Amino acid sequence: MIDINLLEFQSLLKIRNGAGVKEIFDVVRKKWLRLQPEEWVRQLIIMYLSGQMNYPLNHFSIEKIVQKGLRKGRWDILILGPDMKPFMLIECKAPNVAISEKVVYQACVYNKEVKAPFICLSNGLKSCCLQVNTINNNLTFLSHFPLYPYNQN
């Protein structure tokens, strides 16, 4: 697991009472959404990666459809590298959902189509990051989120 406290970034989230429901502002899509536990985690990860790790917000893609064989799914966050190719796929779960083998498997199934070199999983309380080795067809657990690969010109 990665040793970060995403709750430190909770004060950066914009939350309001909407039409009878609590809403959270999505800084990537620039709109208010119904506050769900998974959306809360997604926004915490975005705040951490953009604010602390300097990942560019315009390289985040949120909740897009990915084909899983004959079924469709949605990734939570896909971060594109400077070359606009997939860099990191992130699967967000509600805080009461454990980061289990089942969650890793789900992210790996999505990543089979996406082909990002990194996969991260978080429930807001615990996070882990994996590096994908396509040559050996295995995953390596990392102790940190990878640095964003800014072009070195």
pLDDT at 153 over 70: no
Q: Which residues pair with 131 in a beta bridge?
A: 118, 140
Q: What band does 109 get if pLDDT is binned at 50, 70 and 90?
A: confident
Q: How far apart are CA 131 and CA 23, in angstroms?
A: 34
Render pLDDT for 89-98 as a digit per residue (tens, 0 to 9). Answer: 999 999 999 9
Query: Residue 126 carries which side chain, given as an amino acid letter?
Result: K
Query: Residue 57 carries which side chain, given as an amino acid letter?
Result: L
Q: Could you tell me if 87 and 148 are in contact, meaning their C-beta atoms sit under 8 angstroms apart?
A: yes
Instruction: Pick 118 or 19 by higher pLDDT.
Output: 118
pTM above 0.85, yes or no: yes
Sorted by where each begins, the domain ranges of the chain are 6-142
Answer whether CATH 1.10.287 is correct for domain 6-142.
no
